[in-house]
Structures are given as C-alpha cells and as structure tokens.
Amino acid sequence: MEFIERLKTEYGIELNPQQQRAAETVDGAVLLLAVPGSGKTTVLIARLANMLQNHGIKPHKILTITFSRRSAADMQERYARYFGAEGAPRFSTIHSFCYGVVKHISTQYHRPLPRMLPDPSDTVRRLYCELEGARFLERDRLDDLVNRIGFCKNRLADDRQIEGIEVEGCDFPRLYHAYESYKKENHLMDYDDMLVFTYDMFRKNPSFLAQYHAVYSHINVDEAQDTSLVQHRIIQQLAQKSGNLFLVGDEDQSIYGFRGAFPDALLRFEEDHPGALVLKMERNYRSTGEIVKAANRLIRQNTARIDKQMTAGEESGVPVRVEPVRLPSEQYPKLTEWLAGGTGSAAVLYRYNESAIPLVDALSAAGIKFCLKDTREAFFQTVHVRDMTAFLKLAVDPTDFDSFAQIYNKTCAYFNRSVLDFVSRTHPQGADVFETLKRCPAAEPGKTASLRSQLERLRGLPPVTALNLLGELTTRSYFESDTAFQRLTLLKSIAARQKTVEELLNRLEELQGIVRETPGSGEAVTLSTIHSSKGLEYDRVLLVDLIDGQFPSKAAVERLEQKEDRTAYEEEVRLCYVAATRARRELCLLGFEEGNRTCRPSRFVRLLTADPKPKPQPDRAGNPALETVRQEIQGYYPVTRPEELEVGTVVLHEVFGPGRVIRMDGGMISWFDGVVTKRFSVQACIKKGNLFLKEQ
C-alpha cells in the first residue's frame, strides 16, 4: 500500500481497489480484463513502475508488447511523463520484436536476411490478374484477399484449411500458394512471415528460445484481445519458463477477426495457465451512466465472453438518442442539425469506409470543417461506381466512347465483345457512338434503338430518378449484388442535392478531390470507421447507416438466423459496443423506422435504446409458408399503382414472401429475396392484390 500511496502523492495517480490489485500483482500468469475507459494504460505503467521501483526487476528483463506503433509510442511517452525516460522498460509491437528475432537468426546461423516485400498488395494484385485473366481488381476486393492471406498465417492454417477457403471469383488456394512461391523464389518476406518464422524457430530450436528466456523474466501484453493465434503462441513460448505473463485486454472489444485476432486465448486463459489469476477492472471513467447501461445491454447478448459488470464513473447523463429517418439520404440533414446542436469534440462513425462519401458531401456542402481518418478514394474507382457514372456520362454525351467501353456488356442490349471491337475500329473521334452501332452487324437494331431512347430520356431527369432508372438499362442480374445496390444507394444520397445529371457528375469529381485533400486529424468533426476509432474517445458520437444487412452485416445475420455460427454476428455486436463506448457525454443513432420499405432498421438500435422487440419479420433468406406470410400481411397495404415501386423497394408477396425490387422493365419487376430472383407483372400483381407495402 505504500507504493499506492506514493503514486497518489508524488505522481497524482489515484487508483481504485480493482486497479490497485492489478498494479500490485507482479508475478505469475495474470489476465486483467479491462472494460472501455477503465484506465488500463495508467494501470499498466503504474504496474511497470512497481516492478522496477519496489521489486528490483531490471528494465531490460521486462518486455511489453503493444498492438500498434501508435500505442507503443503513447505508452512510452506516458511512462516517461510520470517516471522519467531513463531506465524505462522496452515497449514494442509484436512485429518489431519478431523482426529482431529474424535478424538474430540471420546473424547467429549465418543465413541471409530475407528482404521485406515492399507492398504485398501490389504482388497480390499482379498474381491475381495473371491467374484469373483479369485486367482490374477493386481495392476493397484486393484488401480482402490480402487480409485472407494474413489471416491464414496468423491462425497457423495448414494446407487442408487453406484448400477449404472459398472466395467468389478467385481460386484462393492457388493465389495463396503462388504468393508464397513468389516470395520464396525472390528471398522476400512480409510482416506476417516474421511471426511464423519466429514461432517455428522457437518451437523447433529450444536452445535458441532459451536465449530469450535468459533475457526476459516478465512479459506484458496490451490489447490482448486483438492478438492473433500465432502471436499468442509466441508470447506463451517467451513466458513458458518464468511463468510471468500479464495479459491486459477485453474480449468484448475484439474487432479484428478478419486479421486473425484470437480472443479465445482470453476465454481459456485459466485452462492454458493452471493457477492463473483473473482480475477485472469494471469501472468506466469515460462514458455517462446512460451510455454504459446501453453498452451493457448490447454486449450481454453475446455468449463467447466472460461476464463483467461495467459501471459508470460519471453521472447518468442524457439517454441514448435516436433520430428516426426513412431513407439513407435523410440522414445527412439530421447529421448537420445534430452537429450544430452541441459542443465539444464530435465523431461520426460508420461500419464501412464507403459510408464516408455522402458524409463528406453533406458536411462540405454545409461548410462544416471535418477530418477523415480513413482517406479512401477507392470508392470512385470501384467497378459499380464506374459503371453507373459511365451510364450517366453516355446519357449526357453519346460521343463518349470510353464510357460505352466501360458498360457495353452490362446494358440491357447485351452487346458482346465483337460489338465493342467493331466500334473501337470504326468509331470516328467525336462521333455519336449509337450512329456507329447502327453499322455493326452484331448489334441488334431494336435493342440498340431502345437503349439509346432510354439514355436520352435519362439525360433530362432529376439525378435520383435517373439513378433509379439504371435498373432498366442494366442486365437483369446487375442489382442482385448487394454491393451494387449499396453503392447505388450512396450515389442517390449524393444525387439528392443536385438538380441535373451533369451537376451530379461534376459533384462526384469534386468529391474525389475533397477526399484526397482532407486531413486525417485536426480540430474538427472526425469521420471514421469504427475500426479506426478504436482507442479514441469523443464528447459526442453519432452512428450512421444502422441498417440490418449492413450493420450487422448480411452474412453475419444469415449465419445467425440459419443457426450455423454465432462467431461473425458476435463480432458485429462487439464492433457496435466499441462504437458506443467511444462516447463520453452523448450517443446519437440515426435509426431507420420500423417497417421501412427499403432499409430494415438495425437490431442494434433496439438493443441500445431498450425499445421493445418488434414483431418478427419474415425470413428473407428463404420462402416462408403461405399461412405465415398471410399473417404478416397485417399492417401492410396492397400496391395499387406502379409508381409506388422503385428499384430498392422492399415488398411482401402473398406467396413468395419478402424481397427487394432489383429491376423494373416494361411493366415487369424483378424481385430478389436473397436466394432466388423472380419476375412479376406489376399490373397482374395489382389486379390480384398479392403485392404489399408496409404501412407508414
């Protein structure tokens, strides 16, 4: 207790009883579960000071592993601020530590040190295009492939497990092995290779591992919930002789499963370390009582967790606020009103990077200063956005050959490659593409004339209406893709502010420049993905795009409802929990109305606000029995006019259940329920009275 009193009087560090116990526990295997805002960094550095000042442990004998270089630098700075930089222990990321091990291997065993692969993404892109015969790979898809390769290494996947990984449009096992072969042939390694090299060397060469046992007597790990399986194995190897392992983390905040994070190591810590001590810090000094209550309500639906009773160190505060909206585009006026109605630091958080684009549009139009933590111009280069803007550009300028070349095989005219080759060879510069098409033997005149007529009509329409009509201009399956539909929705949000198609195209170019030039930090409203907000806090936080199928993700919801696996859904819950606990004083949700025709409200809104559970909705992943659907028709009204429908409208069919309109074409609608596509005559449905919309 003398040390605890000295912390208070000499350093101004006052610890509560749970924090004191953690700071005073020095030896053995210890897991410290720390809820958001519980002061874990302060406790960690206080514990380090205790080890050095009171227990005579030399600084070089202590290794503290952190999740990122930013957190390592922050911890180093905070330790020096309180206790001085001289004689400080080592703070390191696991990758930095393992790079040192690889260099040690090279020196001790006279092996050449592999060169670091400059940019794994470039290598993966090149190999993918070679193997799949592709000319272009979207940034998001590339990132996914790179993350999957890293996931395999971080989870120590064997060949059988790798062969079982399926990625649509990619032979992933072939790509993985090609990537590994390329590095081996060129004596290269990436960051994850350093982890595997270190683990294998420690495992296969006990005498080499013993050299590290002689150096380090105590191992500390921060953010242990985001540490991968191979990283946990390395840490266990380092601590196996002394048994002095201190993990600080919270499985409720594990949100990097796609990178291979392994929160199970926390859940089974006592099993892996017999006699281990599990401590908890359950006092949240960041958020108000209302926010803490909401976060507790949300996280307690997860099953893969250790129970914690998070309490608030602050007054109750204002309740979590919900601003109801009907359409995605209605979020942005609400956002600007909310920002104008409060003081203090503010952040707008979202699940996916692309959600930032209409936010940038709204805030820049309103003259509100903002910073963008995840600067991503990739949205404008995605295939779907390039396609949709190409349709608009061709409508505005029928001489635009480049736009025609972008979408020729995606139009309702179904042009094939021979049509493009003909136009490419014979098209005079500056001439109307459709005049050239008239001379093409492979282009059906009727379909060509119809496409031209529809584009001419589109040119004079308001931009939102023009985007809605893209369903009539594209191939029937185009908007069956959830990604295509979501990007259409984002474009419509931007289009709502513009008067003409030309203005929309100009605004998209302008936005690309704004995204490129916006700083990542500063005295302004922060726009950030939830992942990038980890470890940060703000006085006021607003969450956007709270749509079931986006947040939580469609894949996670489907696996949950089909009772296949809770893993993905529980990570979505944790992600929302992290978002909510970034807020100090105020948490606001832009929540979609129940029964919304185009956007199902996220179940997270109800959990955060304690609203009663709504009536069960029909299962969109299957086709419910007829009687079940008829029961659901209560509260719906029949469609009586074709004008009530548009691409994206969620409808209920008396026989086939709920689905989404993905195409409108000549009096027909295409309906997609997540499994199959069906086509109906709108007039026939109106006559039979078997197509319904939710009452508003």
Q: What is the mean pLDDT of residues 493-516?
A: 94
Same domain assignment for residues 602 and 679: no
| Pick from 19, 31, 24: nearest CA to 236 | 31
Least confident of 248-252, 441-445, 513-517, 634-638: 634-638
State the Cα–Cα distance between residues 262 and 213, nearest whole angstrom.
Answer: 24
Task: Read off the pLDDT band of 628 (50, 70, 90).
Answer: very low
pLDDT tens, residue by residue, 433-476: 999 999 999 999 998 999 999 899 888 899 998 998 887 788 76
Question: Average pLDDT in the 616-621 region?
Answer: 41
* Domain of residue 24, residue span: 3-99+195-281
Residue 633's pLDDT is what? 46
Model pLDDT, residue 654: 67
On whether both 175 and 201 belong to a single domain, the answer is: no
User: Which range, 216-225, 585-594, 596-605, is most confident?
Assistant: 216-225
Asked if residue 632 and residue 491 are part of one domain, the reply reads no
Span 398-415, pLDDT tens digits: 999 999 999 998 888 889
Q: Which residues contact 148 (CB under 8 A, 6 or more apart)?
A: 165, 167, 172, 176
Residue 664 β-bridge partners:
669
Quick one: 70 and 202 in the same domain? yes
- Write down the pTM of the prediction: 0.84
Rounded Cα–Cα distance for residues 644 and 630 (Å): 21
* Token reading at 512: 């690309």
Q: Residue 617 above 50 pLDDT?
A: no
Residue 110 domain-assigned?
no
Domain match, 432 and 503 both = yes
**What percentage of the chain reaches a pLDDT higher than 90?**
65
DSSP H helices in 274-412: 289-299, 331-340, 356-366, 378-381, 383-396, 401-407
Q: What is the CATH number of the domain that holds 535?
A: 3.40.50.300
Structural domain includes residue 335: yes
Number of Cβ within 10 Å of residue 423's Cβ equals: 21
| 418 domain residue, yes or no | yes
Say yes or no: 470 and 344 in one domain. no
Residue 485 has pLDDT above 90, yes or no: no
Confidence of residue 670 (pLDDT cuts 50, 70, 90): low
Lowest mean pLDDT among 18-22, 81-85, 650-654: 650-654
**356: DSSP letter:** H
pLDDT (average), residues 90-109: 94
Whether residues 204 and 121 fall in one domain:
no
Q: Which of 548, 576, 609 is the last residue of a domain?
A: 609
> Domain tally for the chain?
5
Please answer whether residues 46 and 15 qualify as being in contact, where contact means their C-beta atoms are separated by less than 8 angstroms: yes
**Among 83-87, 389-393, 673-677, where is mean pLDDT lowest?**
673-677
Q: Among 586, 609, 632, give the residue marking a domain's end.
A: 609
State pLDDT tens for residues 315-334: 889 999 999 998 888 899 99
- Domain membership of residue 541 (yes or no) is yes
User: 678 near 671, Cβ under 8 Å?
Assistant: yes
Q: How far are the Cα atoms of 160, 211, 253, 355 from residue 257, in angstroms, in the given order?
A: 20, 32, 11, 21
Angle at 255 between CA 218 and CA 99, to 5 degrees: 45
Flag whether pLDDT at 176 surpasses 50: yes
Domain boundary residue among 585, 609, 633? 609
| Stretch 65-77: mean pLDDT | 89
Cα–Cα distance, 322 to 208 (Å, whole number): 58
* Structural domain contains residue 361: no
Is residue 78 exposed (0-12), middle (13-18) or buried (19+ Cβ within 10 Å)?
Answer: middle
> What integer pLDDT is reported at residue 375 of this predicted model?
65
Are residues 385 and 480 both part of a single domain? yes
Tell me: pLDDT of 285 over 50.
yes
Per-residue pLDDT at 1: 65
In a domain, 578, yes or no: yes
The arithmetic mean of pLDDT across residues 557-577, rounded, is: 90
Please tell me the predicted confidence (pLDDT) of residue 34.
Answer: 96
Closest CA to 451 of 490, 503, 505, 408: 408
What does the pLDDT average to over 591-616? 74
Residue 617 lies in a domain: no
Same domain assignment for residues 227 and 89: yes
Residues 453 and 508 in one domain: yes
Query: Is 619 part of a structural domain of the chain?
Result: no
Q: What percent of the residues of the chain are helix, what percent strand, and what percent coil, each to the nearest 5? A: 50, 15, 30
Question: Are 386 and 508 part of one and the same domain?
Answer: yes
> How many whole angstroms from its chain centre is CA 590?
18
Residue with tokens 């390592």: 72
**Please, which residues have CB within 8 angstroms of residue 452's CB and are 6 or more apart in sequence?**
398, 434
CATH number at residue 632: 2.30.30
Predicted local confidence at residue 671, as pLDDT: 60
Q: What is the pLDDT of residues 679-690, one digit of tens each?
A: 778 887 787 777
Higher pLDDT, 695 or 84: 84
Q: Compute the half-sphere exposure of residue 365: CA atoms within 13 Å on the CB side of its CA.
A: 19
In this structure, the answer to whether residues 44 and 166 fall within a common structural domain is no
